[in-house]
Structure 1
Amino acid sequence: MLTIEEKFPLSRERNLVYKNCLTEIGNTPLHEFTEIPIAGNNRIFGKLEYQNPTGSHHIRIYPTLFRILESKKLIYPGITPIVETSIGNAGAAMVYCANRLGFNKPSPKIIVPADASKARIKQIAELGGDLIFSPAGRYSEGYVEVLTRMLDEDKKNKGNFGEDPTRLVAISKVIPEAKMAYEIFVKETVNQLRNIKLNNIDYFFGAVGSGTSLSGIGKYVKQAWPKSKVVAIEPQEAPVARYLRDNGKPLTAKTIPHKVHGVGTYGIPKGKLNIDFNVIDQYETFSNDDWVKTLSIVKEQEGLPIGPSTAAVMSVALKHASKFKDKSILICCYDNDWKAV
């Protein structure tokens, strides 16, 4: 199987730029939760992705996305304007990578909901992102509408992608190739588990947002451990992925009924998400009380500054652990607590 570098070749000089960027990303610690009581003699491991630059797992995918588009001659450093939609974490990660890969002039545009976390908005601005606000309360549905309008308007003036190097291009985390970036996440995990004489993961519990991390990590977890199961985690108030699977159309709402940013992507059809339903073995939900209580427990007993989405996944993993014995569970610790401020 071809590597990303082989599949999407660049010049020697540009390869070096990408290599230097990638040296700053990944190799995050694998933490075993040992202070929190876990039923059934089971073990839970969390990959501390919040220790990446910009403080989230999203940064793993953007060097891959930039490489793909540059290799296809759809973007050019210092020439092509770029844009991404985000609740905050992906936007900060995209701007960070754009700065290091030479795509920061003109400034990357990031579309975020007007009611997104102030801490996340501030981080994007400090990195040099050009913020564009979508309507408050509309979440993913709102920022996708803004992006669509921007791209359509630019197309009227500059034609199709590839025809004009100054055409606005979306650096989109929902293209299928984005999932390739999580192969190294799983390879790192395999090596870290071997160092403690453990050779198996039985379950991967992951939150469902755009689907990229859940499907990407899930895919490579199953390649590494073929008998493993992937469990998709969603809010009780917003079982978006399960609804989309069962009904073929997105779940919609006038306002977002939960408080965990990054999950429950309302109003987005299958074609604009990156969920591989074949990777998912089962669906579980969490309540608002679940993640709030678990956030406090993890901080107090494990000393980890996890954010709400990680607490939500951990709450489900802890409950699920009562259903079996002697299993190993993997979760992704997506971001820091300060990002929810």
Structure 2
Amino acid sequence: MPESYIKRILDARVYDVAKETPVDRAELMSRRLGNNVWLKREDLQPVFSFKLRGAYNKMNRLSEAQRALGVVAASAGNHAQGLAMAAQKLNVKATIVMPRTTPQIKVDAVRRRGARVVLRGDSYDEAADYAQQLVAEKGMTYVHPFDDPDVIAGQGTVGMEIVRQHQKPLDAIFVPVGGGGLLAGVAAYVKYVWPQTRVIGVEPEDAACLKLALERGRRAVLPEVGLFADGCAVAQIGKETFRVVRNLVDEVITVGTDEMCAAIKDIFEDTRSIAEPAGALALAGLKLYADREGIEGADLLAIVSGANTNFDRLRYISERTEIGEQREAVLSVTIPEKPGSFRTFCNALGRRNITEFNYRFADAASAQVFVGLSVVPGGDDLAELLAGLARKGYDVVDLTDNEVAKLHVRYMVGGHVPGTIENERVYRVEFPERPGALAKFLSALGQRWSISMFHYRNHGAAYGRILVGVGVAPSEKKAFTAALEEIGYRFWDESDNVAYQLYLGRRDG
């Protein structure tokens, strides 16, 4: 299988615009993990992403007639910038169709490269449909972000460089996976030259389209795709990429948001550069693999695939980093509502660093304290803390992995609702961050249901998140769910979430 791509990769034309990026040893991460950790620095490309390689190789192979008609692509991110720069270099007209939800910084970056930007639809699929319409109407060439042999070959030059730069076989290479173009190109070349090297794909746990395909033995479409790692937010692995990787990849690892945030910090501490979430995906997978396998002294390489992130997102990333590193625990602790309780509780915590402390009076008997604490990662420190507090008579709930607690409740601690709201149900909703999106949500609810609670946060990305409480009678639940589904935003019923119940739910009496 890889043999058919070796010549394509060797012949790939990428260095007119792309540069050979270094393989750097991550000194701090190597010491922490007890292994030799290497970073392939694709964040150092002129467009801060590897996508330039595949786009230019594809365009360089177009005929003069195809170039004259121009190229088109649908993209909200790195592929758009790579294609725009490639088109500028080759003096070809490029049209990039982007969802209206695309952050302005990315729209401006594409326009600065000379491409024409068309904003169409609220999702990638809607933008892609319009791009195909332009192909049919104007004869333009569609440059796919990953599912094209020439694009795959261009990305495969990353693997070629790794082999040349490291000189001896690595034990494992970790590659971020969206549609699979980078993984297919790297796996094809590396497995041909270093068959003993493990090639491991890494996906966001809420966008694991390759893992789904491997489990089913065929390509399948994810019903929902998480958007935090927007560079890898793909619902279905590519047809050609899956054909290439299904027999080459050794395994696929999935990681969560907190692990990606922690990996962004790791890369910053070793390189002083800030990777985007998808760019840090491979390192997050490397860390999980090293911990799971208990290995030492191995040569492990992660591809840092990009650094196109909005500055506004750094606040959210920073908040989640310590939890992703397992250096912070988030707890809910019940303490007596009497003088001296806080001091006694703080004494019970010992000399631990308190990162957050939220409290509001609820009743005369007891109080709920929302507290963040530093813990030692990778051991039994958290378990010992919980056991120690329990021995001292405290009722403790571990909220460290509770999304509602981390996204919303920590900012809303303000006491329980008195017994006046009937049938309150709570939903977490994710919606496209564009003018009118929030109004659309509220208008769809109309005046049929009363809103009892509302919290919204913008994460500096293409989406926002809200936590909303609504009075919904049992007989109305089906109709309310249907109304949410009609809006088309992702939502989760959090009415039974322990963080909501502890801090925000109705309390009678």
TM bracket, shorter-chain basis: 0.7 to 0.9
Matched with 1:83 is 72
Q: TM-score, normalised by structure 1?
A: 0.79
Matched with 1:250 is 220
Structure number with higher strand proportion: 2
Query: Does 2:247 correspond to 1:282?
Result: no
Query: Does 2:131 correspond to 1:147?
Result: yes
Distance in structure 1 (CA, Å) of the matches to 2:213 and 2:90: 36
Matched with 1:13 is none
Matched with 1:326 is 297
Out of 23, 26, 30, which is 2:19 matched to? 26
1:178 shift after superposition:
2.1
1:110 aligned counterpart, secondary structure: strand
Distance in structure 1 (CA, Å) of the matches to 2:9 and 2:199: 28
Matched with 1:217 is 186
Structure with greater Cα Rg: 2
- Paired amino acid for 1:293: A
8 A Cα contact 1:204 1:221, kept in partner: no
1:233 shift after superposition:
1.1
8 A Cα contact 1:22 1:63, kept in partner: no
After alignment, is 296-305 or 86-95 more displaced?
296-305
Distance in structure 2 (CA, Å) of the matches to 1:226 and 1:188: 16
- Paired amino acid for 1:111: V
Equivalent runs, 1:166-245 vs 2, <5 Å = 167-173=139-145, 174-194=147-167, 199-245=168-214
8 A Cα contact 1:58 1:90, kept in partner: yes
Distance in structure 1 (CA, Å) of the matches to 2:229 and 2:88: 29
8 A Cα contact 1:252 1:267, kept in partner: yes
Q: Higher relative contact order by CA 8 Å / sep ≥ 6: 1 or 2?
A: 1
1:69 aligned counterpart, secondary structure: coil
Structure 1 residues 135 and 245, CA gap change in structure 2 (3 angstroms): farther
2:234 aligned counterpart, secondary structure: coil
Runs of 4+ in 1 over 4 A off after TM superposition: 1-8, 37-40, 271-275
Distance in structure 1 (CA, Å) of the matches to 2:20 and 2:26: 19
Question: Could you say what the CA RMSD is over the residues aligned between the two structures, in angstroms?
Answer: 2.8
2:76 aligned counterpart, secondary structure: coil
After alignment, is 229-238 or 294-303 more displaced?
294-303
Distance in structure 2 (CA, Å) of the matches to 1:170 and 1:233: 27
The Cα offsets for residues 283-317 of structure 1, whole Å up to 9 and x where unpaired, read as 11111111112212321354232221122221121
Matched with 1:157 is none
The Cα offsets for residues 201-253 of structure 1, whole Å up to 9 and x where unpaired, read as 12111111121111101211212211011111111122111213334343244
Distance in structure 1 (CA, Å) of the matches to 2:183 and 2:281: 14
Percent of paired sites with the same residue: 17
Distance in structure 1 (CA, Å) of the matches to 2:240 and 2:175: 21
Distance in structure 2 (CA, Å) of the matches to 1:237 and 1:6: 35
2:183 aligned counterpart, secondary structure: helix
8 A Cα contact 2:174 2:302, kept in partner: yes
Out of 269, 272, 278, which is 1:309 matched to? 278
How many residues are treated as equivalent by the alignment? Answer: 304
- Paired amino acid for 2:202: I
Structure 1 residues 191 and 47, CA gap change in structure 2 (3 angstroms): same
8 A Cα contact 2:73 2:142, kept in partner: yes
- Paired amino acid for 2:260: W
Distance in structure 1 (CA, Å) of the matches to 2:71 and 2:51: 17
- Paired amino acid for 2:136: D
Distance in structure 2 (CA, Å) of the matches to 1:102 and 1:274: 33
Structure 1 residues 129 and 274, CA gap change in structure 2 (3 angstroms): farther
After alignment, is 144-153 or 265-274 more displaced?
265-274
- Paired amino acid for 1:334: S
1:34 shift after superposition:
0.7
Matched with 2:260 is 291
2:29 aligned counterpart, secondary structure: coil
Structure 1 residues 301 and 178, CA gap change in structure 2 (3 angstroms): closer
8 A Cα contact 1:204 1:228, kept in partner: yes
Distance in structure 2 (CA, Å) of the matches to 1:257 and 1:291: 13
1:188 shift after superposition:
2.5
Structure 1 residues 232 and 54, CA gap change in structure 2 (3 angstroms): same
Q: TM-score, normalised by structure 2?
A: 0.54
Distance in structure 2 (CA, Å) of the matches to 1:31 and 1:88: 25
List gaps (5 residues or longer) in structure 1.
Answer: 9-17, 155-166
1:150 shift after superposition:
2.9
